Chains A and B, each alone.
Chain A
Amino acid sequence: MGITGLGIGPIKYSLGDIVGVLINSFFNTGFEVEPTAQMVIFNIRLPRIILALLCGFGLAITGMQMQIILRNPLASPFTLGVSSGAAFGAGLAIISGISITGGKYMLIGNAFVFSLLPCFVVFLLSRLSNCGYGMLILAGIAMNFIFSSLSTLLSYFSNSEDLKSLSLWTMGNLGRASWDDIVPLSIILLITVPLLFMQNQKLNVLNAGDESAKGLGVNVERTRIVVLVLTSLVSASIICFTGMIGFVGLVSPHIVRLLIGNDARYFMPASGLFGAVFLLGSDVLALKIIEPAVLPTGIITSFTGCPILLYLIIKKQKDRAW
């Protein structure tokens, strides 16, 4: 699908052109390629495709782990308030000019730091009050509301240009993808994803229930904290580059579960792969549907994810009824 994606765009290139550009770029063979083709294929399309695959993978596996650890099929990477925190951070940078990093990473830095703030508050609450899964989710919902309200307050005092910028950012978009974004995101995923994979055995055991897991020697509390920290880091890293792209993390695990079941050892990579393909497909649709205008990718994932989710809810109800 990635190769197909390289061929999709307003400028038509043959397979030979695409292969030529890729070989020239990666192996520096000195082939003569047209500068525009080099720019379009290697610097515009390829980063966009890679970013879609990385983000889709990351969102799907974090969604899957959140659903297991919080014991809630509607949990997603953004359940603990990551998305609303990030939107507030972005709004702060755009509307008020207050930023943590400044410079060209002003928006990204703010979105990253503020996306972790709600998670930190939720963790603190869970440590102080020893609350269960349900309370964690409620705390996350509360954080979502708080930061959404703060964003709304910022928006009220903004002008139309700022509002437009913030609105577009919150819709989620892969159009600004560049190698400068992919490198740091890849590093973060290279560190966090293997650590998440290492939790799979424990997640399988947790599926049987907390008491059973404790009986089998799993430190439930520690596992929960580790998974929540790692998933928050992954989600925050993704959202700060792309804006809010919803439903990938929510829907991908459910679809994959229907196909291969619940064993986290296979379920997790399969969810990741599905999420990667789902997001890439959505991005291609976003580019083509009302060409030359581009829809924000987050809109497409919502429009395609929502019906799937509704179908799953209805199917689950019917299965229970049987």
Chain B
Amino acid sequence: MKLRFPGYLLVLVVFLLTGCGNRKADYNSKRKTVCDTLIDAAGRTVCIPARVNRVISPFTMYTRLIAALGGCDKLAGISHTCLLPEELYGCNGVLGQLPDIGPFGANIELIASLNPDLIFASQSDIGTFTSKTDASVVAVSFSDNLSMLETFNRQIDIIGKALRLEEQADSLKTFISSVLKPVITVTTKIPDTSRPRVYFAWTSWTGDILNTVCEFDPIELAGGINVAREATNFSKGERGILVSREHILNWNPEFIFISRYQPQKWHQNGTTSPIPVTIQNVIDKSFLQTVDAVKNKKIFYTTAFCNWWPHQRALVQILYMAKLFHPGLFADLDVEEQGNKIFKRFYGEDSLYTTMAEELELYRW
């Protein structure tokens, strides 16, 4: 039977498709046979290729850990959103020069063009990165149900395993534990009756201090009580809540912390403006005059979130607050020395904490 032209065409197309499919199957099966697997934060079994040389990090919280684990040479692209001043020193100063893949990896085309081997993602982005790139996608998300330190450890484990830097991951966890243990072993034994009441003001550009967070781990780890914790049922972690002035009066905090993560407000057009709430603003607020923190001038700046915890800042924050809350218990704790040590561990430069503390006007002993 002779085949007419359409028939030949159909046979040709079938051969081509079968050929391509087979090659893709070969490629995929090759990838699968030469990879290690890990269970990521989404419970997926992910194939990690033999060579991981081009890593994409859409979240600065992952980038920090990659830098701390010594994985800088593997980074191909990062998000510059929330890249803090001290982090520009990271990776021997090249972190800030890596291609900016947009907020949370919004520039998918650029990511694809960088030919990544591995992408660290949040759970909601897995599908996007998987469908648009050939890279292995590892979810490294955090959960509201975990404490800050548990989340740090989980992230370090996953990133360390994915980059085959497990030794460095263990070393980082040991370092973090060594820095915090002398403080936490003391503060965990402090009863509630001896813990100061603390209000964390997540400053709002409307100039008030009515925005706070219900769960702020450094306060508790440092031996304080977050006065807003009774609202925990409704909001956890970085999610802020609004409270009323009356509640602040009713809670009567002994300490007020004003969040600050930059010395001034930097705008996209290059201009700056002063931060919206200062210590003096809080002292001058008429409705706060009966509050213990204002009467005793126990109002301080502290570092803030920027798309979740900046790890290095959060660790120092615990030490900083512990010494403020319990000066007698931590008389020998040199916050600045420990801060510089922590920052150096992450970014390899001296005196980064001192620079930050000066710029943000943190309390210094």
* Interface residues of B, Cβ cutoff 8 Å to A: 81-82, 103, 202-208, 210-211, 214, 228, 230-231, 234-235, 240-247, 249-250, 261, 265, 267-269, 271-273, 286-287, 289-290, 304-307
Contact = CB atoms under 8 A, between A and B. Distances in A.
A36 interface: yes
Interface in A142-178: 156-157, 159-162, 164-166, 168-169, 173, 175-176
Interface in A1-46: 9-11, 35-36, 39-40, 43-45
28 contacts: A9-B244, A35-B289, A39-B286, A39-B287, A39-B289, A40-B246, A40-B249, A43-B286, A44-B245, A93-B205, A95-B267, A96-B267, A97-B269, A160-B82, A160-B305, A160-B307, A161-B203, A164-B211, A165-B206, A168-B204, A168-B242, A173-B242, A292-B243, A293-B214, A293-B243, A294-B243, A294-B244, A295-B242
Contacts of A160: 82, 305-307
Contact of A104 (B81, B207, B211, B306): B207
A176 B234 contact: no
Interface residues of A, number: 39
A56 interface: no
Contacts of A97: 265, 267, 269, 271-273
A249 B242 CA distance: 25
Contact of B230 (A39, A96, A98, A292): A292
A176 B234 CA distance: 22
Given A11-B249, A97-B272, 15 more contacts: A43-B286, A44-B246, A95-B267, A104-B207, A156-B103, A159-B307, A160-B82, A161-B306, A165-B211, A168-B211, A168-B242, A176-B206, A293-B234, A294-B210, A294-B243
Contacts of A156: 103
A45 B246 contact: yes
A11 B230 CA distance: 16
B204 A165 contact: yes
Contacts of A35: 289-290
B268 A96 contact: yes
A39 B290 contact: yes
A107 B207 contact: yes
B290 A293 contact: no
Contacts of B268: 95-96, 157
B249 A293 contact: no
A157 B249 CA distance: 36
Contact of A292 (B81, B207, B208, B247): B247
Interface in A164-210: 164-166, 168-169, 173, 175-176
Interface of A: 9-11, 35-36, 39-40, 43-45, 93-98, 104, 107, 156-157, 159-162, 164-166, 168-169, 173, 175-176, 287, 290, 292-296
A107 B306 contact: no
Which of A156, A161, A169: most chain B Cβ within 10 A? A161
A36 B243 contact: no
Given A43-B287, A94-B205, A160-B307, A9 B246 contact: yes
A175 B249 CA distance: 14
B208 A176 contact: yes
Contacts of B81: 159
B63 to A, nearest CB: 16
Contact of A176 (B210, B243, B272): B210
Contacts of B242: 168, 173, 175, 293-296
A176 B307 CA distance: 26
A294 B204 CA distance: 15
Contact of A36 (B205, B214, B249): B249
A223 B114 CA distance: 63
Which of A35, A43, A97, A295: most chain B Cβ within 10 A? A97
B269 A96 contact: yes
A44 B246 CA distance: 7
A35 B268 CA distance: 44
Contacts of A166: 205
B230 A168 contact: no
Given A36-B290, A159-B82, A107 B244 contact: no
Which of B206, B241, B242: most chain A Cβ within 10 A? B206
A97 to B, nearest CB: 4
Contacts of B204: 164-165, 168
Contacts of B206: 94, 107, 165, 168-169, 176
Given A39-B290, A97-B267, A104-B207, A161 B246 contact: no
B247 A10 contact: yes
Those 6 A-B pairs whose CB atoms lie nearest each other, nearest first: A165-B205, A293-B241, A94-B205, A97-B273, A97-B267, A294-B242
Given A10-B247, A36-B249, A39-B286, A290 B207 contact: no
Contacts of B228: 292
B360 to A, nearest CB: 14
A293 B211 contact: no
A261 to B, nearest CB: 39
B127 to A, nearest CB: 22
A96 B273 CA distance: 9
